[in-house]
Chain A
Amino acid sequence: MGMTITEKILARHAGKKEVLPGEIINARVDLVFANDNTGDLAVDQFKKAGFDKVFDKNRVIFVADHFIPPKDVSCAEQSRRVRVFCREMGLSNFLEVGRVGIEHVLLPELGMIKPGDVIVGADSHTCSAGALGAFASGVGSTDMAAAMAKGELWFKVPETIKFVYKGTPGRWISGKDLILYTLGQIGVQGATYKAMEFSGEAVEALTLDERFTMANMAIEAGGKNGIFHVDQKTIEFLKPRVKTDYEIVSSDPDANYAEVHEYDVTDISYQVALPPSPGNVKSLSDIGNIQIDQVVIGCCTNGRLEDMRVAAKIMRGKETNFHIRTIIIPGSQEIYLQALQEGLIETFIRAKAAVSLPTCGPCAGLHMGILGEGEKALATTNRNFVGRMGHKTSEVYLASPAVAAATAIKGYISTPEEVM
C-alpha cells in the first residue's frame, strides 16, 4: 500500500519504513518554535521539568510577534522571561521587534522551513508551513517544552483528506476564497485530527503566498496539518533562502485517503465567513449590505507581499470611507520594506489607512485595533469567534485582501469590481 506525503514524512522521522493512520509514533523534529506568548509557558514547563539544555541550539526559535512592542508590563515580562531563557541556553534565535515578523510569515522567509521537514510550533497556525511540502503542526506549550528538550515528540499518524481544485478562478478570486469555500463545505470539524492535502491544477496556479494562506487555515477545519506538493514555484521560492539540502517527498499514486473532495473553482465567487465561525461561509453576493467599522489587512493568513500588492492595486488613488478605520499590517520587516520600495505603503497612507509594524495584534484581540461594543470588522485574518477582536458583542467577517480593500473604500462589504 502506498503512502501519502504526510505519512511518508512522519515515517522517515520515526525511523520506520511505513506508518499507518492511527499509529502512535515518536518522530524526530527539525524545528521547534514558539512566540512571546506561548514561549513563556513553554519555558516555564521546561524549567519545572528540570531540563537544563535544548536538543539543538539552531533548531529552537522564539519569535516575538503577539504582543510587540509590549503593550503593558505583563507582556513585557513574558518577553523578558523568554529573552533571559534564550541567553541562559545560549540561543541566538530570539527574534525581537525590528528584526521580526509574524512567525508563520517570517520563518519560511528566513529559510527555516524545508520540504520534508517535521516542524512543531506552539501556535495553532504552524500548519502554514505545509505550503512548502513540510509536515507542520501546532502544539501547546508542554509539547514545545518536550520537543525543545528531546528533539522528538509523539504523534498519532493522521488520516489524510485530499482536496482537488480544478478550473480557473475569476480575476480577483484568491487562495483565501478557495480555503474559505472549503471551510464552508466541510465545516470547522471537517478535518479534525486529519491531514489536509491540497492539490489540482487550480492550486498549482496559485502563488506561494496564496498557498501559505490555504495551509494556514487548515486548523480552522480542525486539521492536524495542511500540505502542498513541491513544484517549480516552491523551488524558486526556496532557492535564495534555503542553502542546505532537502528531500522532496510526494504522495504515492496508490496512497490511501480517508476522503477525496473535488471542487471546480471556476464558479467560486468572493467568499465571506460570517461571525461567529470560520465555517459559516457564504458568497459575498448573498450576504446583503453590511456596514463595517474597521478593516484589517494582514495577519499570518494574509500579511504577505502579494496581499499587500492586491490591496494597494485596489486602493491606489482612492480614499478609504470616512467612517472606516483601516489597519494594514505587513507580515514581516522584509515585506514592509519591499512594500515601501514598491510604493504600496505610500498608496495606503494616501488612502488614509494606518500602517502598523508586523504583529499579530488585532487578529486575536490582543492590541493595535480592538473593537468596541457592537462594532463590526472585515478582516483578512483567520478566526471570527465571539469577541475574537475585542468586545464580546463585536463581530468579525473574514475575507480576502481584495474584498477587504474594496470594503475599506466603500464602507460596507464590497467586491473589487464596485471600486475598480
Chain B
Amino acid sequence: MEYRGKAWRFGSNIDTDAIIPAIYLHTSDPQILGKHCMEGIDPGFPKKITAGDIIVADENFGCGSSREHAPVAIKAAGISCVVAKGFSRIFFRNSINIGFPIFESEEAPGKIANGDELIVDSDKGVIINVTRKEEYKSIVYPDFIKSIIVKGGLLNSIK
C-alpha cells in the first residue's frame, strides 16, 4: 500500500488526551470524534488538513489512556497514516486492530518538516520525502500484523 500526503509535525509524548480530550468520550461516533482530532494540542487541526495527509511525530505517540477513540478520531479526520519514532503500546494495538496504518521509523521524523510532501510505501518499508528528495527506512511489520491491516482490522481477521 502507498499513502501520499502532506506532513503535519508533532513532538514527543503526544498523549491520548491531546489527541481526543476526555470531554468527547461520551460519544463513539467517528464523525464527531474526527471533528475534534488533536484538539488538546492543536485546536482546529481537522479543518487545516486535506484527506490523505500524514501525521509525523517523535517518541511515544499515543501514550496515556486506552481510548480507541484516539486512532478512530485520527482516521475519521482523514489522516491516512501516522509515522513516528515510536508509539505507546495500546495506541499501537488499537491502530492495527481498527486497520489504521501506523509506521515506526527511527530516521524519518527528524528529517521531515511540517508541510513536506510524503509517500509511505508500507510493503517496501520506505518513506519518500518528495519535497526534499530523500528516502527513509521504516519498520516492516511481521506478516501476522500486515494481514490484520490488509483485512481491515482484527475483527475481520478472526471472523
Contacts and interface: CB of A to CB of B under 8 A. Distances in A.
Interface of A: 24, 37-38, 40-41, 44-46, 48-50, 66-67, 72, 74-75, 78, 122-124, 126, 138-143, 145-146, 149-150, 154, 188-189, 192-193, 219, 222, 224, 277, 364-366, 383, 385-388, 392
A74 B26 contact: yes
16 contacts: A44-B28, A124-B66, A124-B90, A138-B66, A139-B93, A142-B155, A143-B97, A188-B13, A189-B13, A189-B59, A189-B88, A222-B88, A365-B22, A385-B17, A385-B40, A387-B40
B66 A146 contact: no
B92 to A, nearest CB: 8
**Which range contains the number of B residues in contact with the other chain?**
35 or more
B98 A50 contact: no
B102 to A, nearest CB: 13
A67 B26 contact: yes
The 7 closest A-B pairs by CB, nearest first: A140-B94, A74-B26, A49-B155, A140-B68, A142-B97, A124-B66, A189-B60
Interface of B: 13, 15, 17-18, 21-23, 25-28, 40-41, 59-60, 63-69, 86, 88-90, 93-94, 97-98, 142, 144-145, 153-156, 158-159
Nearest to A189: B60
Contacts, number: 122
Nearest to B145: A24
A364 B25 CA distance: 10
B1 to A, nearest CB: 20
B59 A383 contact: no
A103 B67 CA distance: 16
Contacts of B153: 142
A78 B25 CA distance: 10
Given A142-B94, A143-B154, A188-B13, A387 B65 contact: no
Interface centre among A139, A142, A383, A387 (most CB of B within 10 A): A142
Given A24-B144, A50-B159, A74-B26, A188 B66 contact: no
Given A74-B27, A75-B26, A142-B68, A193 B144 contact: no
A41 B68 contact: yes
A139 B66 contact: yes
A38 B68 contact: yes
A41 B154 contact: no
A224 B155 contact: no
A381 B140 CA distance: 38
A49 B159 contact: yes
A45 B18 CA distance: 24
Contact of B40 (A66, A122, A192, A392): A392
A4 B156 CA distance: 33
Contacts of A66: 25
B17 A192 contact: no
Contacts of B156: 49
Contacts of B25: 37, 66, 364, 366
A122 B67 CA distance: 8
Given A78-B26, A142-B155, A385 B144 contact: no
A250 B154 CA distance: 32
Contacts of A385: 15, 17-18, 40, 64
Contacts of B59: 189
B66 A140 contact: yes
